Structure 1
Amino acid sequence: MTDSSRLAKRVLLIGWDAADWKLIDKYMAEGSMPYMKQFLERGSRGNLATLQPVLSPMLWNSIGTGKRSYKHGIHGFTEPMPDGKGIRPSSSTTRKCKALWNIFTQEGMTSNVVSWFVGHPAEPIKGVCVSEMFRSVPIDKKDPQSTELPELPPQSVHPESMRDELAELRLHPGELTEAEILPFIPNAAKIKQSKDRRLQSFAKLFSEMINTHNAATHLMENTDWDFMGVYVDAIDHFGHGFMEYHPPRMEHISEADFEIYQDIIAGVYKFHDLMLGRMMALAGEDTTIVLCSDHGYHSDHLRPKETPKEPAGPAVWHRDQGIIAMAGPGVKQGETIVGANLLDIAPTILNLLGLPAAKDMDGKALTQAIGAPGWSPPELIESWEDVPGESGMHPRDKQEDPFAAREALKQLVELGYIEEPDPDAEKAAKQASREAKFNVARSYMEGGLLDEASKRLEELFEAEPDQPRFGVALLRVYMRQSRFDEVRPLAEKLLGEMEKVNTSKADRIDDAIKAIEEKPEKIIANAEEQMEEAYQKRVEAEKTAAKDEDREPVEIERPAVKIDEESLGNRKQKLQTAVEQIRGFDIRSIPTVNMLLGRLEAIDGNLEKSLEHLNKAEKAEPRLPGLHLQLGQTYLRMRRNESAIRAFQKALDIDSDNASAHEGLAAALQRLKRNDEALDHALTAVELVHDMPRAHLRLGVTLVRLKHFEQAVQAFETCLKLAPMTGAAHRYLAMIFRNHLDQPELAEKHRAELRRVQKKRKKDKTIAQQKSFAENPPHQLAPGPTGIYPASNPEEIITIVSGLPRTGTSVMMQMLAAGGIEPLSDGNREADESNPRGYYEYDKAIQLASDSSWVGDAKGKVVKIVAQLLPNLPDFIDGKIARYRIVFMDRDLDEVVASQHTMLSKQGKKGADLDADKLKETYASQLDSVQHMLAERRISWVQIKHADVISNPEQVAEELNQGFGGHLDVQEMVQVVDPTLYRERT
């Protein structure tokens, strides 16, 4: 299947886990990463957006396959053993789809893969596969001073014939000398190694980095290959161990520790530059090199003060933007790669080697950065899973050596990625399954499969309601699904569970205090007994480990802890202080809880109350992630645009790569007609996160404002590729093609698509697939400004019939009144020859520009308002968000002008001092402006053609009935339409 338009002779993919442009650019500017500078001068670079959850096993398998976690099957660091007896590190046998090296094997190409995350056991591909088990060299507990290399774990190298050759390339941690250590830790002599084991940790990580590099460069130099994939985890692992010591000093780090360990991270980056230089030299200029990271790593003021004590807690250190850089044949020079994410790596490499990407891949080839004169990407195939042939994948039922699994688990525990497995194997397996289920739910959530996500999260939260993270994730899914009736009850349940946990904790402490007071002797005896049991368990565990490792057991020291009445009294005092703090603590005062409460109030339209909660959160924790973004979004809804700008700017001061903050800032600036500034931020948003439909929608709207209509079309079309149900994009495209680009066929195509979207949305009561604002467009009969279509409370809805005069607004008022909606009309304007059935007008509506106090009287009714006055509709009525739905009448402008002229002539009036063409042009401009306003304010509306009302009133009435919740009398609506009144035709 190899395409003749192969761009690259061969491809080297280098993965640097957690590499971040912030530090790379810093060290390049200092002259400390010269090889990286050379590499970038030859090619292109950009940000690489990560996926959720930000867990490396899932991410690197997405890089290797081009698919999300719920497709490739790797859901975390651990998984239950196939036999159900305990857990093991996630295994390559678990991956459900082909990775790049499997596709290349199938196509007859040769691949070398070194240390890929979740690469054990090594796969039987065409080429050489070295699993991640290769790099780790455990210390001999029997003889800790020994630097003898142990045997490689079974199945860590394929083919087996390469095993001994590669095994000799490993470096033992004990072999490190001052020459290797001092560039990273100049003050290493100050470390008291008997108490401080951080130097041993450094040596272990350093040797693993070297071992990966040695295996990779050996294979590059001594084998033939088409593709080479090398994964280096050192930046991430050194980061988890030592980033808190990186300058500037964090508050909780002592001056002494900072002095010793502050240079490690810089040293690691500089050493990676040396490794890159060696690989570039071995690869040669005829090799295309792709360098990427799965996420960034906080190295500045965004470093967390503490790591959450929960599974995968260390991921809080990860930044959402990783790196991508490419150079060599087939790569354009000097390009800035925009909108890329991890899923794009695999399709891009397939194209470089002349192979097509597949439709079932979630990523796209980065054709903006690759190509050659006359080249076009190979046509997509359905799926590489359907292509027959030996691919070098494992049989699914293959077992892993339990000892190797145990050793690998120890490493993950030591790195802080997972908790110590429970000795109860069944419980440990259950915990691993729980975490995998949570992780795949989050993957479904990001992929837009919200039903799949909510189903799993509901099961998790029901089973363990004392786990707030499950409830919080479920709340987010419910909000994206617009299941707002369920959000507040769930939030209250979540808060109740959190309060129960606190109460239970306080009760247990009270019981402990009571026991100390009533039976101190028994407490002392029980404590001594428990200490002895714990000591004996440690002794037995050491004996078992020594037997497994064929060595003498190490003597375990008995703890020298004295328990007496004095120490018991001190313990009681501490417990009393703790219980007072717990019982006096209000869960609802937690900043993150206030953010949640603020969101709930915003859903109900109580924006002032929402702000109260958010301001409390800001006062308690002003740098809380997401807080200023939520504040900005709330201010936007309140039309407090200057306040919104300040909030979004604060969010960007904290994290300049926050795409949602850039998009929100663009919205606020756009409202203030600062369109050039809005354009800059809208562009930045889509560059940072390409897969954000609302950002492309915002970009398109901004370009329309600037009259860049061709570019706006591109933005709206990109939005539709990402979210085909975005009615707003169809609406704008129809308007652009009709009014500005003179392409009526395309205009009609998008109007037809809009009608199709509208019909589909009416049938989908749960709106399960919507993605935020972009997939919940503001200008159709769909969820309005609160994000929920208010059909459950029709008395709150204000229905408006609008359009230009003589577009059929009166007949539409008659239809809706006949259908069962009470008209707000004073009857002051009587029927006449131009409108023999009456006008259904309300005098106060004509005064809307100067007085809007009456609008609340229209709740539950329908009122007619001319289009030009719609921008004067108030956002709030009685302190709550006003809920509008607008039926916008559309009629050919030639007919409108002619009909208005006839009506004015009958009344003996002259009208506008404009010729017909100029009047039509003015009306068209005014209608465009009104439509932009409706889009910005997220007011729901539907456009109805006057001609359709006359020629097919049954269809129009039925469509309106569906959009209004099925409560209209369609037959009565049809009866009021009189076709003989359609007199001015073109």
Structure 2
Amino acid sequence: MRFLRMLTNSLLAGALGAAYLTILVLQLNPAVPLLSATPWWWFVTLGLLYGVHFAVAFYVVLMAREFFAMGMLSPGWISVRLLAWLGAVMSAAAAALMWLNLRGFAPAIGEVAAWRMTAGAIATTVSAILLLAIAVAHYSFGRRGSRVGAWLFSIAVVGSMALPIAARGPGSPPRDEPSPWLDPRAAASPSADGPRVTLLLLDGASLEHIWPRAAEGRLPNFSRLLDGGAVIDLATIRPTQPNPVWAAVATGMYPAANGVRSAARYYALRDRRGIDLLPDHCLSHALVTLGFVRDQPLASDAWGATPLWGILSDEGLTSGIVRWPLTHPTEPSAGFMISDRLHQVATSIGEYDRAGFPKAVLRTVQSISMNPAYAGPDAVLASGFTPNGPESSALEHDLLYARVGRALRVERDPRLFALRYTGLDTVGHYYLRYAQPRASRSITEDDRRRLGQLVDRYYAFVDGEIGAALTGMTAGDLLFVVSGFGMQPVNPAKKLFARVLRDPDFSGTHERAPDGFLIAYGNVVQPGRSQRGSIVDVTPTLLYFFGLPVARDMDGFARTDLFTRELTAERPVTFIPSYR
């Protein structure tokens, strides 16, 4: 019977761990009503995965103790002495997770929610200390049946859950916001006069990789930008996913203000209310991988603030936006737009019609995509890639969007042209470890040479695309090359867990939010390396260049230090309350 009693205590500790994780989910998603079914569904979902595994782990530890300890353990069905130790472990782990997630997700949840989460983390930390003190007292004095100890234990456990929930509050559903993309019929008449801006967006590009290769002459166009342009390291955000990162770039606001906090909405078992953020540092993506949680990708209705092209439309400036995340289905704006899901919806008639605005641009898309030379085997082999590999698919998509975008730019000549490339992110995920100066000993020299070159070849492809953008520049024009986030090697623990889940064998990651960068180039740019900024500085800086005021509710700043004194002397920074 004592083994069965060990099991009941292990199950209670596992349930406590699931409760702590549920509280963490609620803290990261302050809009979820506390008095609803959603918290309970998440408790059940987390209990089925984490709670069960916690219970099994604790039971294995207790059984191991039986084999190696001198004394026999015979706990009660609900043992204060045993649960105090297990509760101390779980509450300490919960407190650590709260602090780590608070550090990473503060910009995503907002200032008020971050303050409330801080109070909850403090309460959980204090409770962990109390539980540890109770466990030590019971171990030292052997007071197994003490009512005082039981009461103190109950108060500490209840407080470790009730206080963070009380600090978090009942939940505050977000306000209904009007559609941030404006109807061009209500906007000012488009103006074709003035300098042009080219904005090239790169997923997963790192200056650490670019600098040495540019110095060696292997990336001549990057070298030209670095020598004659302005360079800024950009702090990015967490979760470091394309949707929230590029939404922050487009709005000049952090996720708490622009409404885009992650790549998808996540739904617990049988729950109809989704959440935005899953906890970090606890392998929570396994919930989706194993089917415990359903994810639903976000669409263009997720914006809670006006993106850059909406602001320009309202001010009478045209824009051409190609493959910016969260642009499907496309919405009206002055200029043209190509959805980021064009390559995914090409075979769906209903969705394909919504992949471009105005619909007339889809004729250009069809004329290019029906041309077998746009990104066929010849283009793949010419770039040194193996057909049917992940890098080949990424190249085909990047080439499709690039050629469509350039053709539409010639046709419509927008004031702002933005084009996104995702291939560097793909090759970085798969092949970064082969391109590292100190590759793993398990990698053969042949693999290091053959696969490591794939990363360099893709950077060379992007370098060529930058060269094409430079060719079309005239006096007064501006080129921005922006990387929203960099790429780092995957740590061994994550690689091992990925193999257990049968995930792709990735060697690069950006989940720890490595810096991106901004390179500005043009005769109005002051060359040099400037102080580190943030991804939310991009849109305020572009608004300043266009002569438009910066909104005071934006989190970013206009980086006037990028421009020459001649330009900044005659163009002071102006402000308005908001573009919402």
TM-score (norm 2): 0.56
- Deviation per CA, 1:903-940: give whole Å up to 9, x if none: xxxxxxxxxxxxxxxxxxxxxxxxxxxxxxxxxxxxxx
User: Corresponding residue for 1:223?
Assistant: 412
Aligned-residue offset at 1:115: 0.2
Separation of aligned partners in 1, 2:213 and 2:461: 12
For the residues of structure 1 that align with 2:483 and 2:454, how far apart are their CA atoms? Answer: 19
Alignment length, in residue pairs?
358
Kindly provide the CA deviation profile for residues 568-622 of structure 1, in whole angstroms up to 9, marking residues without a partner as x: xxxxxxxxxxxxxxxxxxxxxxxxxxxxxxxxxxxxxxxxxxxxxxxxxxxxxxx
Question: CA 1:339–1:377 in 2, change beyond 3 Å: closer, same or farther?
Answer: farther
Q: For residues 184 and 55 of structure 1, do their structure 2 counterparts lie closer, same or farther at Cα, with a shift above 3 Å needed? A: same
- Tell me by how many angstroms 1:58 deviates: 0.6
TM-aligned CA distance change 1:211 to 1:303, over 3 Å: same
Q: Given that residues 394 and 423 in structure 2 are in contact (C-alpha distance below 8 angstroms), is that contact kept between their aligned partners in structure 1?
A: yes
Q: Alignment partner of 1:134: what SS?
A: coil
Quote the Cα distance in structure 1 between the aligned partners of 2:513 and 2:384: 24
Contact 2:487–2:509 (CA<8 Å) still a contact in 1? Answer: no
Is residue 330 of structure 1 aligned with residue 520 of structure 2? no
Q: Return the alpha-carbon distance in structure 2 between the equivalents of residues 47 and 61 of structure 1.
A: 18
Q: 2:342 aligns with which of 119, 134, 159?
A: 134
**Alpha-carbon distance in 2 for matches of 1:297, 1:64:** 21
Say whether the 8 Å CA contact 1:217–1:282 is kept in structure 2. Answer: no
Give a deviation string over 1:721-764, Cα, whole Å, max 9, x none: xxxxxxxxxxxxxxxxxxxxxxxxxxxxxxxxxxxxxxxxxxxx
Q: Which residue of 2 aligns with 1:379?
A: 574
- The unaligned stretches of length 5 or more in structure 1 are 141-148, 189-197, 386-986
Q: Indicate conservation of the 8 Å contact 1:173/1:206, yes or no.
A: no
Q: Which residue of 2 aligns with 1:304?
A: 491
Displacement of 1:380: 1.4
Inter-partner Cα distance in structure 1 for 2:205 and 2:273: 36
Whether the 8 Å contact between 1:7 and 1:353 is mirrored in structure 2 is: no
2-structure distance, mates of 1:360, 1:207: 39
Matching residue within 561, 569, 573 for 1:368: 561
Aligned residues of 1:176 and 1:203 also touching (Cα < 8 A): no
User: Residues 285 and 319 of structure 1: is their aligned pair in 2 closer, same or farther, counting only changes over 3 Å?
Assistant: farther
Instruction: Describe the SS at the equivalent of 1:365.
Output: coil
1:321 corresponds to which of 481, 506, 515: 515
Match of 2:223 in 1: 37
| TM-superposition CA deviations, 1:811-839 (whole Å, max 9, x none) | xxxxxxxxxxxxxxxxxxxxxxxxxxxxx
Structure 1 residue 37: deviation in Å? 2.1
Q: Which residue of 2 aligns with 1:347?
A: 540
Q: Distance in 2 between matches of 1:133 and 1:237?
A: 16
Secondary structure of the residue aligned to 2:576 is: coil
1:101 alignment partner, SS class: helix
Aligned to 2:124: none
Q: CA separation in 1, counterparts of 2:461 and 2:561?
A: 31
Q: Deviations over 1:845-890 (max 9, x none)?
A: xxxxxxxxxxxxxxxxxxxxxxxxxxxxxxxxxxxxxxxxxxxxxx
Aligned partners of 1:331 and 1:214: how far apart in 2?
27
In the alignment, which of 209, 224, 241 is matched to residue 430 of structure 2? Answer: 241
Q: How does 1:158-557 map to 2 (within 5 A)?
A: 158-170=357-369, 176-177=376-377, 180-181=380-381, 183-185=383-385, 188=386, 199-248=388-437, 249-254=439-444, 257-298=447-488, 303-305=490-492, 306-307=494-495, 309=498, 315-316=509-510, 320-332=514-526, 334-373=527-566, 374-385=569-580
Residues 1:104 and 2:294 aligned together: no
Query: Partners in 2 of 1:151 and 1:258 — Cα distance?
Result: 45
Q: CA RMSD in A?
A: 3.4
Match of 1:331, SS state, is coil
TM-aligned CA deviation for residue 243 of structure 1: 1.7
Shift in Å at residue 372 of structure 1?
4.2
Structure 2 match to 1:68: 254
* Uncovered stretches (5+) of structure 2, i.e. residues with no partner: 1-186, 275-293
AA aligned opposite 1:243: L
Cα shift at 1:383:
0.7
SS in 2 for 1:344: helix
2-side partners of 1:371 and 1:7: how far apart?
Answer: 21
Q: How many Å apart are 1:112 and its aligned residue? A: 0.4
Report if aligned partners of 2:204, 2:484 keep a CA contact under 8 Å in 1.
yes
Cα distance in 1 for partners of 2:349, 2:391 equals 20
Partner Cα separation in structure 2 for residue 328 and residue 131 of structure 1: 28
Q: Residue 341 of structure 2: SS of its match in structure 1?
A: helix
By how many angstroms is 1:381 displaced? 1.0
Query: Structure 1 residue 21 and structure 2 residue 214: aligned?
Result: no
Q: Which amino acid aligns with 2:214?
A: M
- CA gap of 1:83–1:207, structure 2 versus 1, over 3 A, is farther
- After superposition, the C-alpha distances for 1:4-23 in whole angstroms (9 at most, x for unaligned) are xx996222111111211111
In structure 2, distance between residues paired with 1:265 and 1:137: 28
Structure 2 residue aligned with 1:51: 237
Aligned counterparts of 1:83 and 1:124: Cα–Cα separation in 2: 30
1:87, distance to aligned residue in structure 2 (A): 4.6
Contact 2:390-2:427 at 8 Å conserved across structures: no
Residue type of the partner of 1:382? P
Q: C-alpha separation between the residues in 1 aligned to 2:448 and 2:426? A: 18
Contact 2:323 2:339 survives alignment (8 Å): yes
> Equivalences for 1:632-781 in 2 at 5 Å?
none
Residue 9, structure 1, aligned to residue 195, structure 2? yes
Distance in 2 between the 1:382 and 1:206 partners?
42
Percent identity among equivalent residues?
Answer: 21
Q: 1:83 to 1:208 in 2, by over 3 A?
A: farther
Give the counterpart letter for 2:572 in structure 1.
P
Within the alignment, does 1:155 sit opposite 2:155 as a pair? no
Greater radius of gyration (CA)? 1
AA aligned to 2:298 is S
